[in-house]
Amino acid sequence: MADTPEPVFQIQRIYLKESSLEQPNSPAILLEQEQPTVDIQLGIHASPVAEGVFEVTVTGTVQAKVKDKTVFLVEAKQAGIFEIRNLPEDQMGAIMGIACPQIVYPYLRGNVADLIQRAGFPPVHLAEINFQAMYEQQQLQQAQQSAVGGDTQPATLN
């Protein structure tokens, strides 16, 4: 009988890696009566830290504008360190692109809403994300790019 090592998936740590808040047009912009438009961008990045240990970062950027002037700009990177061992290579992409971001994202949502609220604005709650659909869309785009001889670099999820 061959000894097959058991798969390992453990969260080592979840942490706020980076955050920033800018209010470049305060205080004048705060007197505007018009409702701001809000643009939200998300990104996922995964990188090895050590043998069988990976950092997965979910980045959120929230920008509120009135006309062409920024009310506030919040950027935050929430990260997790995960121990992932003895998994088939074909499953690693899904673990890094779906499972890990699903664990990290709620922390990002809370930190972004808190930072915006502490800046004196109503909190902006990031929507729930279907990371599986996002991952499958990214895989489809990469397959299409490869089929036409395009760039095979991983796409940024926005």
- CATH label of the domain that carries residue 137: 3.10.420.10
Contact 54, 96 (CB under 8 A): yes
In a domain, 153, yes or no: no
Per-residue pLDDT of the chain in tens (158 residues, 90 and over written 9)? 557 789 999 999 999 999 999 999 999 988 888 999 999 999 999 999 999 999 999 999 999 999 999 999 999 999 999 999 999 999 999 999 999 999 999 999 999 999 999 999 888 889 999 999 999 998 898 888 888 875 444 444 44
β-pair partners for 75: 20, 61
Q: Which domain holds residue 106?
A: 8-147
Number of domains, the chain: 1
> Residue 62 in 3-state DSSP?
strand
Distance (Å, whole) CA 86 – CA 100: 16
User: What's the pTM value of the predicted model, to 2 decimals?
Assistant: 0.84
What's the per-residue H, E or C state across 114-135? HHHHHCCCCCCCCCCCCHHHHH
Longest pairwise C-alpha distance within the chain: 74
Residue 156 lies in a domain: no
